[in-house]
């Protein structure tokens, strides 16, 4: 083989290697097959999946349950499955949501709302507190102090809003109200600890 062709081949192989290395920088994410992920969208999706199961368990309005499942199918889960294609739990969530949508009565009453003792699931502040407390703990486990600090601070902010508007919680289950109060203290303590580690 002429020297010029050998040089061109060597350059092509080098560029291919560089391109491959860059493309696979975060391939480890695609290898995740189970367990919680330090990913904001994952935790929001997990929250809604838990909400969905609790809605079915407590016989919430069928139309609302179907709408919640459709939102998971159309918005949250496709992007997560693309990002973590081997994660078995995400696949199960998608299958579960698809099954629920198929079983929802198309003539279900659309005027009904969540039952009062279930409504806490639908409060943005409650969801943000729950999601960010979990992400904060993952930040601590990974010794990512700045991220953990940010998560605990945001959780505490949302919990304070709930406590400042305790009339919102008048129909909430006692264990949820207790969780809000005790978790606010925990978020404040963790935020203080993270500041010392920065």
Look up residue 58 and give its DSSP letter.
T
Q: What is the pLDDT of residue 121?
A: 97
- One domain, residues 110 and 131: no
pLDDT at residue 15 greater than cutoff 50: no
- One domain, residues 135 and 153: yes
Q: Which residues contact 36 (CB under 8 A, 6 or more apart)?
A: 42, 43, 46, 134, 138
If one counts every other C-beta atom within 10 angstroms of the C-beta of residue 190, the result is: 23
- One domain, residues 41 and 95: yes
Domain boundary among the residues 87, 115, 143 is at 115
- One domain, residues 107 and 143: no
Q: What is the mean pLDDT of residues 117-133?
A: 97
In a domain, 3, yes or no: no
- One domain, residues 126 and 54: no
Closest CA to 116 of 181, 61, 49: 61
Cα-trace Rg, the chain: 23
Residue-wise pLDDT tens digits, 147-175:
999 999 999 999 999 999 999 999 999 99
pLDDT at residue 13 greater than cutoff 80: no
**Which residues span the domain enclosing 42?**
32-115
Q: Is the dihedral of CA 102, 105, 110, 114 positive or negative?
A: negative
In a domain, 17, yes or no: no
With tokens 């061109």, the residue in question is 8
Q: Record the pTM.
A: 0.84
Domain boundary among the residues 72, 100, 115 is at 115
- One domain, residues 157 and 98: no
Q: What is the pLDDT of residue 25?
A: 53
Q: Is the dihedral of CA 119, 125, 126, 131 positive or negative?
A: positive
pLDDT at residue 77 greater than cutoff 70: yes
With tokens 């860059």, the residue in question is 22
In a domain, 79, yes or no: yes
């Amino acid at each position: 083989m002429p020297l010029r062709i050998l040089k061109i081949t060597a350059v092509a192989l080098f560029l291919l290697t560089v391109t491959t290395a860059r493309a696979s920088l975060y391939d480890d994410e695609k290898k995740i097959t189970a367990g919680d992920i330090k990913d904001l969208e994952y935790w929001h999706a997990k929250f809604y999946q838990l909400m969905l199961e609790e809605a079915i368990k407590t016989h919430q309005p069928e139309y609302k349950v179907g709408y919640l499942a459709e939102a998971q199918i159309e918005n949250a889960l496709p992007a997560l499955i693309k990002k973590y294609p081997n994660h078995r739990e995400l696949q199960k969530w998608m299958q579960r949501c698809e099954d629920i949508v198929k079983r929802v009565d198309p003539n279900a009453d659309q005027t009904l709302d969540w039952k009062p003792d279930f409504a806490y699931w639908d409060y943005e502040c409650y969801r943000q507190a729950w999601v960010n407390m979990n992400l904060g703990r993952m930040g601590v486990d990974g010794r990512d102090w700045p991220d953990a600090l940010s998560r605990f601070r945001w959780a505490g902010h949302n919990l304070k809003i709930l406590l400042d508007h305790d009339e919102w919680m008048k129909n909430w289950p006692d264990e949820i109200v207790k969780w809000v109060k005790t978790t606010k203290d925990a978020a404040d303590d963790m935020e203080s600890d993270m500041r010392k580690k920065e």
